[in-house]
Copies of this chain bind each other. A is one copy, B any other.
Amino acid sequence: MTQHHTDPHERYERGLRALAAIDGDAGHKVVEALAEIAPDFARYLIEFPFGDIYSRPGLDLRAREIATIAALTAMGNATPQLKVHIEAGLNVGLSRDEITEIIMQMAVYAGFPAALNGLFAAKEVFTSRAAADREPVA
């Protein structure tokens, strides 16, 4: 399952596609926010996490988002990124109940405060998504 060296433009394009599929608009906004201060870092973010890791065939995106939501909840010091990946979890097919289960389980490994703060982050994402869904688009 070894990836071979690929054309760098291909890697960047593959990363952009993965980023859009996973994070939707949120990924685009992070890249924009970086443009002024560290444009190369935006490129690395597209290339390594998305072009290399999330594009690997050995694990589907659903499983990858379970891993990421769990890790960010447990670490407890990256709430903005946790919210982006709760949203990403929904984008790749996890249900709200499944995301809630993953976060609750983190009480066992990182304590109740980490799980509580993860649940409140999920509540915010679920609520703002529900609000967006109710908005008429045209």
Residues of A within 8 A of B (CB): 1-3, 5-9, 11-12, 30, 33-34, 36-41, 43-45, 48-49, 52-54, 56, 58-59, 63-64, 66-78, 80-81, 97-98, 100-117, 119-120, 122-123, 126
Main secondary structure of the interface of A (DSSP, over half): helix
A11 CA / B43 CA spacing, docked (Å): 14
A53 CA / B105 CA spacing, docked (Å): 6
Chain B residues closer than 8 Å to A103, beta-carbon distance? 38
Chain B residues closer than 8 Å to A53, beta-carbon distance? 44, 104-105, 107-108
A126 CA / B66 CA spacing, docked (Å): 23
| B123 and A58 within 8 A (CB) | no
